[in-house]
Amino acid sequence: MFTGYYRVNYDDQNWNLLSQGLQTARKSIPALNRAQLLDDAFSLAFAHRLSLSTALNLTRFLKDEDDVVVWMSACKQLQHLYELVGSTTAYPKLQVK
C-alpha cells in the first residue's frame, strides 16, 4: 500500500467559486476542509503554483470564522507570509485597510 500527502490545486474559476462559497455559506463546508483549503492555497502560492492574490482572496471569509482549527491554519500560513515579506518593501501592500 502506498501513502502520500497531496495538495489540491483548482483552476482560477473553481478557486473563485470556493472563495465565494466560503464567504456566503462557510458552514456548509466542514471546518477541517476550510482549514485544508487555506493550507493548500497558501502552500501552493509559496511554491509559485498559485497566485498569492488567490490565496489571500480565500481568507475573506475569516472575518466571520469562529472555529479554532480554521484559525490555526490561517495563522500558520499568514505567519509564514509575514516571515517572507515582513522586512521587504512588499509588506505595506499586505496591510489591512
Ordered DSSP codes for 3-57:
---------HHHHHHHHHHHHHHGGGS-HHHHHHHHHHHHHHHHTTSS-HHHHHH
What pTM, to 2 d.p., does this model score?
0.86
The count of domains in the chain is 1
Residue 25 above 80 pLDDT? Answer: yes
Q: Is residue 65 included in any domain, yes or no?
A: yes
Does residue 19 fall inside a structural domain? no
Range of the domain at 42: 30-94
Q: Is residue 2 part of a domain?
A: no
Is 54 among the domain residues?
yes
Q: Please report whether residue 20 resides in a domain.
A: no
In a domain, 84, yes or no: yes
| Domain presence at residue 83 | yes
CA distance 56 to 23: 13
Average pLDDT in the 74-83 region?
Answer: 93
Residue among 4, 6, 68, 1 nearest 34 (CA): 68
Tell me, yes or no, whether 15 lies in a domain. Answer: no
Report how far residue 63's alpha carbon sits from residue 48's, in angstroms, rounded to the nearest whole number.
26
- The DSSP element (H or E) to which 3 belongs, if any, is none
User: Which tens digit of pLDDT belongs to each residue from 44-74?
Assistant: 999 999 999 999 999 999 999 999 999 999 9
